[in-house]
Each structure stands twice: as structure tokens, then as C-alpha cells.
Amino acid sequence: MSIIRKTMDDLGRLSADEAKDAPRNPILVILDDVRSMQNVGSAFRTCDAFAAAGIYLCGYTPQPPHRDIHKTALGATETVPWQHFATVTEAIHAAKAHGYHIVAIEQAHGSIALQQLPQQGQKLALVFGNEVTGVSDEALALADVCAEIPQWGSKHSLNISVTVGVVLWELVRS
């Protein structure tokens, strides 16, 4: 069997202008004091790939435009709607005002496995935390539920950019 890579034309991707008006999945990503510009850029790119409704950047999370964000986002900062909020509390209240169910993605007592997260017909705002300290206590207190990715290795967590990809894939795959 000969495997031939698809061309850009074969992929049939939307242009940046078309992507702005395209239907989106009812998933909002909230980045709670994420410090790495590369992780922010990766989150934008992943949100673009899975047609997420948007990204809320909170606290000291870096904001576009910035060379290091664009390096990994590859233009997704132009196709994914985003807003900045001074605090994660403000972002969560804004998401709730728009009808979103708040899901903290964190390893915590009482969390449920990601695959058990009910998603049918719900608007979900997913809170992803800082690379070292995780989702803030303020965000955990405001969350409707906490979900985590089951893991079996010796390390205690995944990089946030990987986590965003795994969680979004799980939510849009069915």
C-alpha cells in the first residue's frame, strides 16, 4: 500500500475569513494564569482545529499579538475569538452569563474522569490552569464540576498544550 500525503487543497480548510463566520462547537477555553506563550499559541491552534467557540485569557496569561504566541498558533489568533480578563473570576462569571457550564480540568478530590463528563447539548467552559500550580482555588470554587484525564504513568500531569488537545478531542469526537 502506498500512502500519499494530502495536499492543502485535499484538506479543504477554510480561509481565515471563512473561519470567522463558520459554525463552532459550544466549547470555551479559559486559560487561568498560563505563563508560557508557546502553550497559549498551542491552545489557540487546538481551539481552531476543533472549532471551539473561543478562548478567555486570564490574569498574566500572555495575549496576542506576540511573536512567540504566533510561532505556535500559526495564524489561529486570527480565527479563534478571544478576550482578556483581569481575573479568572471575571472570566468565569462572563462565561456563566453566556450560559456556559464551568468545568475545571484538574486532578482534585471529587473530580470525574474526562470520559464521564456529560456534554450533550451543554455549553462547556473548560478552565485550564497554570503549568506549575494548576487551576486556581478561585476557579475551582466557581466550577460546576471538575474533570481529569485518567493517567497510568509515573508523572503526575500532562503539559497544558497536550491536555487542551486531549480534552477537546474527547468532547468533539462523538
Our count of domains for the chain comes to 1
Beta strands in the chain (DSSP E): 25-32, 52-58, 82-85, 101-105, 112-113, 124-128, 145-148
pLDDT per residue, tens digit, the chain (174 aa), is 899 999 888 988 888 888 888 999 999 999 999 999 999 999 999 999 999 999 999 999 999 999 999 999 999 999 999 999 999 999 999 999 999 999 999 999 999 999 998 766 799 999 999 999 999 999 999 999 999 999 999 988 899 999 999 999 999 987
Q: What is the pTM of this model?
A: 0.95
**Per the domain annotation, does 2 fall within a domain?**
no
**Per the domain annotation, does 8 fall within a domain?**
no
| 160-172 helix and 37-49 helix, angle to the nearest 10 degrees | 10
As beta bridge partners, residue 128 has 31
**Per the domain annotation, does 133 fall within a domain?**
no
CATH of the domain at 28: 3.40.1280.10
**Per the domain annotation, does 5 fall within a domain?**
no
**Per the domain annotation, does 134 fall within a domain?**
no
**Per the domain annotation, does 43 fall within a domain?**
yes
Burial code (b: 16+ CB inside 10 Å, e: under 16) for 90-116 equals ebbebbeeeebbbbbbbeeeebeebee
Range of the domain at 85: 23-128+142-148+158-172
**Per the domain annotation, does 108 fall within a domain?**
yes
**Per the domain annotation, does 115 fall within a domain?**
yes
